[in-house]
């Protein structure tokens, strides 16, 4: 049990391990560098582990001095210097992950000049739209410049290349998209497209590469809300892929740009058209693809969710009492599809006149939404003639009046979406991992600190795919003894929000849904680390 307890205080798999060349030359005892452990846990661990590299214990510069050569203004070697720099940088905590930026693996290409006076490094963020990137840059400069031997600091800011967090077969055109955000409402006319377009341009204004997919083939509104010079989608004759049109740097695809006007189609055709438009488009590298969903909660939504791995959903509604029922429907649909709803936008809430604020539809059901569904973010949008006219002028409000109060609300929504997506990606990518030191598969329960451990062989033996179990007879094809007791996974990657794909040494790729992992026999007493086990045997 001792091993188990240690792991609970120091969940090391939270750490996106710093690049190997950045890791301190000092050997790291197991559990020494807690990533998400609260400060109290960090302090406990610091006392018996690796003092100089424990970052957050109410110290600033002294730790750097302690680690440097002791001469005050000099360091003995490049290795010592790098160590000092990493210690200094580990004082900077990413507010979204609650972890220092060194443990997050953000520090890349750390170089020290031969004279041991000049430091260069890159801070690689998860998204170019990171709302705290300026703060990171400033702080990184500040804490490194404060080291006694440093004369010059060169910090470069960059972002990770766009890539989905999910493994599995994605259509070619979606392979370089980091986050897909569905903007959805249960009814038409509530302002869903207005929110989708303004959110997209806000994210682009924050520095992200953005696309909008207008999935409403019955009444595509994107062509009225933006004014691209080229109003027709072009097909690349060689690759046969659709090339999006573009307005102010945002890539756009809509049935309304397909040159066919409004569609008179039946359900299956609609799904087919949406599928084709979404998947055969060459979106290129995108940080965020905003999907303006068709209204409702029907088949088209299922199709979309099956084709595109949605990262998160934003629900748009109006303040009427009845609208609560709509929001509930939307939240339930996304929850079934395992897509987290990160924000609710209550549109057309109020207007200001004669220096007074009027709520023509009553005060919304926002608080109820927050309480009942645990959606933490609620945004109120006013009724504005400028918002409705921007739908006709083809210039989104956040572009035509970037300093206005509506733009400010969208800025807050944009920050919320960026932060929530980053958290979801982090959660998804660390939900199931393999801890080599204790030879156990670690499963983190979403939205809680709870975690449990599984024996790799148990997971493999419980595979339910056709390779292991006869689909018709239910007969077990892979027998208990066929799976070696000491089998270890080679790679574990998330498959959507519902499963992981585990690659085993024999090349077998197992799809293990979270629900199934939850049912397996758990390791109560996690084995000792491999090295200790060998030593004691
Ligand atoms: P949906 O996508 O839900 O059908 P739209 O975004 O197309 O809704 O909006 C419907 C109409 O309402 C459009 O003419 C739009 O310009 C207008 N509109 C949306 N939000 C507001 C608002 N907050 N104030 C004024 N007009 C709005």
* In the chain, ranges of CATH 3.30.2020.30 domains: 432-519
DSSP letters for 27-44: ---TT-S-SS--HHHHHH
Q: Are 292 and 215 in contact (CB under 8 A)?
A: yes
Q: Report the range of poorest mean pLDDT among 23-32, 197-206, 441-450.
A: 23-32
Between the CA of 292 and the centroid of ligand 1 the distance, in Å, is: 13
* In the chain, ranges of CATH 3.30.300.130 domains: 78-159
Residue 20 has pLDDT above 80, yes or no: no
Closest atom, ligand 1, to C-alpha of 381: 23
Report the pLDDT averaged over residues 205-227: 92
Residue 123 has pLDDT above 90, yes or no: yes
Can you give the pLDDT at residue 266? 56
Can you give the pLDDT at residue 2? 33
Residue 284 has pLDDT above 60, yes or no: yes
Pocket test for ligand 1, best of 388, 389, 401, 404 (most atoms within 8 A of CB): 388
Q: Cα–chain-centroid distance for residue 136? A: 19
Residue carrying structure tokens 């302002």:
191
Residue closest by Cα to atom 24 of ligand 1: 383
Residue 63 has pLDDT above 50, yes or no: no
Helix axes 78-89, 133-145, angle to 10 degrees: 130
Residue 10 has pLDDT above 60, yes or no: no
Residue closest by Cα to atom 6 of ligand 1: 191
Using a 6 Å CB cutoff, which residues line ligand 1? 185, 188-194, 221, 347-348, 381, 383-384, 387-388, 391
Can you give the pLDDT at residue 260? 58
Of residues 320 and 267, the one with the higher pLDDT is 320
Q: Report the range of poorest mean pLDDT among 4-8, 378-382, 420-424, 428-432.
A: 4-8
CATH topology of domain 78-159: GMP Synthetase; Chain A, domain 3 (3.30.300)
Which CATH number, 3.40.50.2000, 3.30.2020.30, 3.40.50.720, 3.40.50.10480, labels domain 432-519? 3.30.2020.30
* In the chain, ranges of CATH 3.40.50.300 domains: 172-428
Can you give the pLDDT at residue 268? 60
- Mean model confidence pLDDT for the chain: 80
Between the CA of 317 and the centroid of ligand 1 the distance, in Å, is: 11
**Which of 197, 207, 134 is closest to 407 using CA atoms?**
197
Residue closest by Cα to atom 10 of ligand 1: 189
Pocket test for ligand 1, best of 182, 194, 201, 358 (most atoms within 8 A of CB): 194
Residue 251 has pLDDT above 50, yes or no: yes
Distance CA 168, CA 298 (A): 25
Residue 42 has pLDDT above 80, yes or no: no
Residue 3 has pLDDT above 90, yes or no: no
Residue closest by Cα to atom 18 of ligand 1: 388
CATH topology of domain 172-428: Rossmann fold (3.40.50)
Report the pLDDT averaged over residues 485-489: 95
DSSP label at residue 82: H
Report the pLDDT averaged over residues 86-115: 92
Q: pLDDT digit string (tens) for 426-458? A: 888 888 999 998 999 999 877 677 889 999 999
Q: pLDDT digit string (tens) for 124-133? A: 999 999 999 9
Report the pLDDT averaged over residues 135-149: 96
**Dihedral sign computed on CA atoms, order 75, 76, 79, 83:** negative
Band the pLDDT of 46: cuts 50, 70, 90: very low
Can you give the pLDDT at residue 353? 92
Between the CA of 508 and the centroid of ligand 1 the distance, in Å, is: 50
Can you give the pLDDT at residue 269? 64
Q: pLDDT digit string (tens) for 393-434? A: 899 999 999 999 999 999 999 999 999 998 888 888 888 999
Band the pLDDT of 44: cuts 50, 70, 90: very low
């Amino acid at each position: 049990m001792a091993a188990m307890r240690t792991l609970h205080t120091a969940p090391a798999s939270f750490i996106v391990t710093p690049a190997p060349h950045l890791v301190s030359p000092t050997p790291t005892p197991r559990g020494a560098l807690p990533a998400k452990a609260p400060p109290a846990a960090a302090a406990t661990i610091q006392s018996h582990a690796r003092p100089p590299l424990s970052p957050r214990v109410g110290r600033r510069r002294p730790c750097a001095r302690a680690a440097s050569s002791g001469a005050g203004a000099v360091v003995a070697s490049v290795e010592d210097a790098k160590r000092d720099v990493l210690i200094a940088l580990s004082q900077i905590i990413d507010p979204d992950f609650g972890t220092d930026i060194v443990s997050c693996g953000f520090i890349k290409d750390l170089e020290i000049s031969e004279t041991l006076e000049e430091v260069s490094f890159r801070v690689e963020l998860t998204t170019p739209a990171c709302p705290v990137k300026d703060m990171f840059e400033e702080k990184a400069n500040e804490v490194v410049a404060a080291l006694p031997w440093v004369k010059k600091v060169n910090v470069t800011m960059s972002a990770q290349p766009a890539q989905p967090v999910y493994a599995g077969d994605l259509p070619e055109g979606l392979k370089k998209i980091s986050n897909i955000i569905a903007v959805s409402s249960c009814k038409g006319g509530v302002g869903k497209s207005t929110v989708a377009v303004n959110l997209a341009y806000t994210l682009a204004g924050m520095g992200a590469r953005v696309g909008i997919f207008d999935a409403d083939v019955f009444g595509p509104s994107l062509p009225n809300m933006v004014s691209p010079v080229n109003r027709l989608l072009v097909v690349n004759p060689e690759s046969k892929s659709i090339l999006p049109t573009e307005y102010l740097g945002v890539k756009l695809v809509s049935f309304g740009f397909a040159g066919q006007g409004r569609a008179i189609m039946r359900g299956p055709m609609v799904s087919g058209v949406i599928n084709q438009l979404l998947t055969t488009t060459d979106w290129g590298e995108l940080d965020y693809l905003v999907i303006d969903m068709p209204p409702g909660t029907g088949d088209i939504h299922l199709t979309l969710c099956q084709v595109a791995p949605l990262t998160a959903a934003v629900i748009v509604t109006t303040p009427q009492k009845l609208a609560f029922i709509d929001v509930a429907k939307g939240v339930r649909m996304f929850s079934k599809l395992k897509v987290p709803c990160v924000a609710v936008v209550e549109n057309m809430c109020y207007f200001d006149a004669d220096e007074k604020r009027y709520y023509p539809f009553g005060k919304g059901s926002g608080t109820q939404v927050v309480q009942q569904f645990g959606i933490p973010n609620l945004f109120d949008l006013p009724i504005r003639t400028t918002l409705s006219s921007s739908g006709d002028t083809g210039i989104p409000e956040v572009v035509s009046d970037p300093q206005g109060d509506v733009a400010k609300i969208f800025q807050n929504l944009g920050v919320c979406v960026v932060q929530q997506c980053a958290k979801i990606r982090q959660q998804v990518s660390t939900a199931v991992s393999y801890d080599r030191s204790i030879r156990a598969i670690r499963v983190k329960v979403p939205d809680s600190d709870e975690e449990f451990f599984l024996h790799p062989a148990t997971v493999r033996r419980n595979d339910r795919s056709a390779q292991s179990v006869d689909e018709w007879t239910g007969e077990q094809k892979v027998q208990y003894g066929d799976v070696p007791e000491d089998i270890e996974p080679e790679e574990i990657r998330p498959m959507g929000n519902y499963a992981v794909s585990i690659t085993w040494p024999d090349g077998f790729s197992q799809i293990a849904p979270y629900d199934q992992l939850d049912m397996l026999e758990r390791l109560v007493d996690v084995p000792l680390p491999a090295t200790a086990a060998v030593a004691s045997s």
